[in-house]
Homo-oligomer: A and B are copies of this chain.
Amino acid sequence: MKSCDTDNLGFARVDIQRQSRQGVAEVVYGEGKTAGQTIEILSSLKSHGQSPVLVTRIDPDKAGKVTAALGGDFTYFPQARLGRLGGNRPCDGIGKIVVACGGTSDIPVAEESALVAEALGNEVVRLYDVGVAGLHRLLSCSDELRAANAVVAVAGMEGALPSVIGGLVDAPVIAVPTSIGYGASFGGVAALLAMLNSCAAGVSVVNIDNGFGAGFLASRINHPKGAK
C-alpha cells in the first residue's frame, strides 16, 4: 500500500482509494467533526471520484452547512441523522434485506440501517413496530421475514426482538440495541446484553444505536464474494 492512498489534510488522512480497494467509499463519522472539517473531507473524497459517500451522526445544523457548501449532491435524512454525497448505488444485492424494529421510538435507528443499505445497492423491506409484547404483529409478517437474505433487528428496552426473529428465519440476523428505555435500561445496555445472550443461533450484535453498522454489514452479506 502506498502513502499516496491517502489525502493528508492535517486533521485527517482521507482514504481516496477505499472504493476501488474495498468496494465502498470511506464513511465519515460526523459526530466529532466540525462542519468545516466535514466539508473538506467530503470535497477531497468527491474530487477523487468516491460515490456515494455517507456521513453518519451529523446533526441538522452541520448538515445545513455541508449542503450549502456542496450543493445538490448532498442529501440529508434528518430522522436518521445521515448524509449522503452522491446517489444510491444500483440495486445489485443478491436478495432482500429486512429492517425490523420493536417500537415507534426505535425508528430513527432503523431508518439509518435502511438508508445505508439502500445507498449501498440493496432492496430493503421495512417492518416497524413489531415488538415481542404483541407477538401477532410480528407473526403476521412471517413471509417477509422468511424471504430475507439478511435481517436487521432493532430494539430497545429488553431487546428480545432478535431472539424471536432468529427462531423464525434461516438468514443472518444483525441485532441493533437502541438506547430507548429508562431506568435499568442503562442507555441500551440491557438490550445489548440480551442480544449478546440470544439463545437463537445466527444472531450477531453491533453497538448501541449503530444503525449504520448494521445496514453496512447487511449489505456486505447481501453482496457475497462467492456469488460475484
Task: Show the binding face of A for B, using Cβ within 8 Å.
Answer: 1-3, 5-6, 10-13, 15, 18, 21-24, 26-27, 29, 31-33, 37, 57, 93-95, 102-107, 128-137, 139-140, 147-149, 157-160, 163-164, 166-172, 174, 177, 179-210, 212-214, 216-217, 220-222, 224-227
8 examples of A-B residue contacts, CB within 8 angstroms: A1-B136, A6-B137, A26-B134, A27-B201, A32-B104, A95-B224, A179-B183, A183-B192
CA distance A188 to B181 in the complex (A): 14
Residue numbers in B under 8 Å from A201 (CB-CB): 24, 27, 133, 212-213, 216-217
The distance from the CB of A20 to the nearest CB of chain B, in whole angstroms, is: 11
Say how many copies of this protein the assembly contains. 8
B196 in contact with A194 (CB, 8 Å): no
B220 in contact with A208 (CB, 8 Å): no
B105 in contact with A198 (CB, 8 Å): no
B186 in contact with A133 (CB, 8 Å): no
Known: A163-B132, A163-B160. A104 touches B12 (CB 8 A): yes
B105 in contact with A32 (CB, 8 Å): yes
B224 in contact with A149 (CB, 8 Å): yes
The distance from the CB of A193 to the nearest CB of chain B, in whole angstroms, is: 4
Taking A13-B130, A157-B198, A183-B207 as known contacts, 19 extra A-B pairs with beta carbons closer than 8 A to each other, sorted by chain A number, are A11-B104, A11-B129, A13-B134, A26-B134, A31-B180, A94-B224, A132-B163, A135-B135, A147-B225, A158-B160, A171-B220, A172-B221, A183-B209, A184-B208, A190-B190, A190-B193, A191-B194, A205-B206, A221-B224
